[in-house]
């Protein structure tokens, strides 16, 4: 490889970082970005403290003795610190809701006086006395359906017989 040039176009500025094999490095960014290379000849662009200001287009122009390559990388970022208050507010809201529902459940389960909530969600553990329940009228059909049927048929038969006697 003969040289590597990074042309950086961000929101705030345009700059260039160049490294040549037998020449001095060239850096117009002056913001901490730098090129690094490994022993096997691989070059990397290092951006310390990456932030939203580093969004933009990064063009890497690499030249070799037998040719070259041009790569364009579009970089976008977001400020992750802004998301934490929203996440924290959501988690605290859920915790508060679960806590409130748990307290209401135990209050209703133990039937402690909570006025409206007791009437809505608490059922008495002991069955009501028979004196409290209204007595249903006695329905003979429910207890003796055949006897009731015979009684009706007889009354119809007797009433029709009375009509023919007159």
32: pLDDT strictly greater than 70: yes
**How is residue 51 written in tokens?**
């932030």
| CA–CA distance, 65 with 39 (Å, rounded to integer) | 19
**pTM listed for this prediction:** 0.47
- Confidence at 125, pLDDT banded by 50, 70, 90: low
| Mean pLDDT, residues 115-132 taken together | 59
- What does the pLDDT average to over 16-37? 84
The structural domains of the chain, ordered by start, are 3-75 (2.60.40.10), 81-121 (no CATH)
Of the listed ranges 13-27, 44-58, 124-138, the least confidently predicted one is: 124-138
**Whole-angstrom Cα distance, residue 35 to residue 74?**
18
**pLDDT of res. 155:** 85
Task: Give the integer Cα–Cα distance in Å for 156 and 151.
Answer: 9
For residue 133, what pLDDT is reported? 57
Tokens of 131: 């004196």
Q: Which of 55-64, 77-86, 145-154 has the lowest mean pLDDT?
A: 77-86
So what's the pLDDT on residue 147? 74
């Amino acid at each position: 490889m003969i040289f590597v040039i990074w042309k950086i176009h961000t929101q705030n500025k345009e700059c260039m970082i160049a490294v040549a094999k037998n020449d001095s490095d060239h850096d117009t960014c002056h913001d901490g970005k730098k090129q690094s290379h490994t022993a096997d000849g691989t070059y990397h662009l290092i951006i310390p403290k990456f932030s939203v200001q580093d969004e933009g287009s990064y063009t890497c122009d690499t030249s070799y003795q037998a040719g070259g390559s041009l790569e364009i990388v579009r970089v976008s970022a977001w400020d992750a610190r802004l998301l934490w208050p929203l996440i924290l507010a959501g988690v605290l809201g859920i915790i508060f809701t679960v806590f409130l529902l748990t307290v209401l459940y135990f209050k209703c389960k133990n039937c402690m006086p909570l006025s409206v909530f007791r009437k809505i969600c608490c059922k008495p553990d002991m069955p009501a006395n028979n004196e409290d329940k209204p007595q249903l009228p006695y329905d003979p059909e429910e207890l003796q359906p055949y006897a009731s049927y015979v009684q009706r048929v007889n009354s119809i038969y007797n009433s029709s017989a009375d009509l023919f006697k007159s």
